[in-house]
Structure 1
């Protein structure tokens, strides 16, 4: 759905074939007795107006939509052995202060590679904006994207089955193309040099992308 809305936002006319009766997949929902229940995640990162990884906000804004959210005052609170308590604050600066730039980890962990990973996680801007509960449920994200897609002049057909399958060879070619494009975009935005460190397998035994 995000791919479709990104194309539509850039002027393309897109047809989305959705097998189910609503959009969303793992971010779908169902209703019982007047209540809405999420069938996948119920909390989300990505609603911030800061940083580079506020991907839900960016996706919705691309088609002129925005969702009301209920913020959680903290992301998570770790209670570990030895009376070690680490609160992942909603505000990024408070979170870094809590960790003292990794000093807590260094008291208990000696592996340098693991410590480097922890440093990267601390500095990662996905924490901007913290966890949010979308009003109406996570299914509202896909519904908002679907509405935005239609607003842009594109179309979604529900209960639609694809009847003309690609050959395995064509499928693998397209899958490798998509994987390469994803790596290129990640490399450009977040991780310079990433593509040079990844070798795509010629034999795709497992479906990595759909």
Structure 2
């Protein structure tokens, strides 16, 4: 059931976004900042986090570390993992794949993303992209392999795409990464000519 407080908060967030877009029309086109599409899963995670913080404050609980219930802590860590994953996906959309630098039209928004990213890092979270990591000889090391795909030009198994990053809190995994692993192409042995 939606409460009046929820409706008010939803109205303020939507009207704030609308007024921000409207303010852009006051400026010449070359100075307008493009609207960044936030992933739906990140928006949902942020809304759940803000609701959880409001609930915690109303109960007199201050922050994640004061929860005595392990299940509540796991839920909050899972929520932070979702937020981290959403930020990681957003960062991938904003950064040029070859240079690793933000695309020209995304530079301003990228600074805000980096600010939130740094806040998570300062809170002890690490969001790890595994693309390019070499797989150890013994096999998988804390990753969920979605697929193995033959790839040219590699001599051992390498992560060629990270589908979902690993998220750690104080060096403890709270979300296992999901990856696609490239395997060396198997070239068929040349057949001997029959006489």
Q: Same fold (TM over 0.5)?
A: no
User: What interval of TM-score do these two structures reach, taking the shorter chain for normalisation?
Assistant: under 0.3
What TM-score comes out, normalization by structure 2 length? 0.25
TM-score, reference length from structure 1: 0.24
Larger radius of gyration: 2
